[in-house]
Amino acid sequence: MTEVRTRFAPSPTGYLHIGGARTALFSWLYARHHGGRFVLRIEDTDRERSTQAAEQAILDGMEWLQLDYDGGFYRQSERFERYQEVIQQLLEKNQAYYCHCSRERLDRLREQAMQEKRKPRYDGHCRSLGLGPADGAVIRFANPQDGEVSFTDLTRGSVVTQNAELDDLVICRPDGSPTYNFCVVVDDLDMRISHVIRGDDHINNTPRQINIYHALEAPVPAFGHVPMILGKDGSPLSKRHGAVSVIEYRNMGYLRESVLNQLVRLGWSHGDQEIFSLGEMIKLFDLSGVNKKAAVFDTDKLDWLNQHYLKTLPLETVSEQAAWHWQQAGIDPAGTEPVVDVQRERIGNLQQLVSQSRAFFEDFDEYDPAQAKKHLRLVAIPVLEALTEQLKAIEDWQQEALSAAVHQVMQQLDIGMGKVGQPLRVALTGHGASPSIDKTLLLMGRDRSLQRIETAIKWIAANRQPQEQSH
């Protein structure tokens, strides 16, 4: 078998969106499954829309997902000499020609076709005129006029198109820049791409590209077109369904493993299995498992996957990905691993982890108003004072001793955990969400815990009225 070589070829006109990331993953998995190579190519021939910022956004998304590519990556804008060389070859073989048709003439052709309910296509007016370069002229590929072009799609089966349905597409614009369908063929040929895996919105381009391969007497790669991605309402996935950029999901606190698992299940399946490690994806992935029907992006499923991976991935893996979120919050990630270990059992994403854990690493000036109103009342002062007395007596600040101290106060005052734990939790963290109270005390440390309890007692005394005693 010839070496498997796949590619991901995004245009740098925006972020790496979910659809592009799914295509990149499928191409990457196919190459890795077959021990082949995966190529990254930036298709930036659209000079007006392509930006360096968008290119970097794509590279950042690929890096976060850890979809590594073999060797450096290619930019189409750096290959113009090669494109012109191939265009010249086609001109010399009469497989391409100059077209001088004006925009007005082309618009009339289109309008007439629409009125007659025909598919708009160029009529080949300049094909046999032997024209040369001129201002405003384009170069068109001389598509075969008879017969058919066929291929076996790796996901959809046999696809047959009559050449009469295809017009002579423009391969070079008036400004000398080559067009997408032409550049793709030259690139895939030069990069020895064996399998082209891409969205099914490209399937109509494939017959045109195959005819260019034939004109160049070049081997035609295998094609696999994967289904489009829909939102839960059945319409194409877009911003109205929520985030569509891969990096947005990182920013919202999702683990890369969760996003990759969600992506691989968008149009691909292996029995009833829902959860796949990256190693399993590489081992099991094949295009025969790709569905023809459109896939639905389910955020609820992604949330479920994220909670699963938060709990089950190695602690160092979760901590490594949490580091970015700590840094965004202005907190040094060093020393945060114990907090991550405790919090990951009870939160849904890394953003929540950091927002609910800031109090372990930095002081706060205000209490959550609703939690303070409910739990920092005058009746809490004797509870917090009793806790202070018990906690100060602890010499070895360990979880077992801390738990015993809290239960001693419950017995001493004859009250339940809620009337001890919640005032203490708000005093320590400023809000009502934290791990178990003994773990919270342990992670907070002796000095910080005692200082915050003292601060809370003073705050209650200064801010609460006597009539609150009985509430």
How far is the C-alpha of 203 from the C-alpha of 400, rounded, in Å? 64
**Using an 8 Å Cβ cutoff, are 14 and 57 in contact?**
yes
Query: Please, which contacts does 189-192 make with residues 24 or more away whose CB atoms are closer than 8 Å?
Result: 189/213, 189/216, 189/218, 190/82, 191/5, 191/7, 191/39, 191/41, 191/74, 192/3, 192/5
CA pair distance 333, 339, nearest whole angstrom? 11
Taking the C-alpha atoms of residue 200 and residue 206, their distance in angstroms, rounded to an integer, is: 10
Count other Cβ atoms within 10 Å, centred on residue 288: 9
What tokens appear for 197 in the block? 């895996």
392 is catalytic: no
How far, in Å, CA of 224 to CA of 317, rounded? 34
Rounded to whole angstroms, what are the CA distances from 203 to 180, 188, 206, 294, 428? 14, 16, 5, 14, 59
Q: Can you tell me the distance from the alpha carbon of 71 to that of 45, in angstroms, rounded to the nearest whole number?
A: 22
β-pairing verdict for 157-162 and 148-153: antiparallel
Q: Closest by alpha carbon to 5, among 40, 42, 39, 43? A: 39
What spatial distance separates the first Cα and last Cα of the chain, rounded to whole Å? 79
Residue 397 tokens, joined? 């600040």
* Look-up of token digits 């919050």: 329
Identify the active-site residue in 93, 239, 311, 458. Answer: 239
Residues designated catalytic:
239
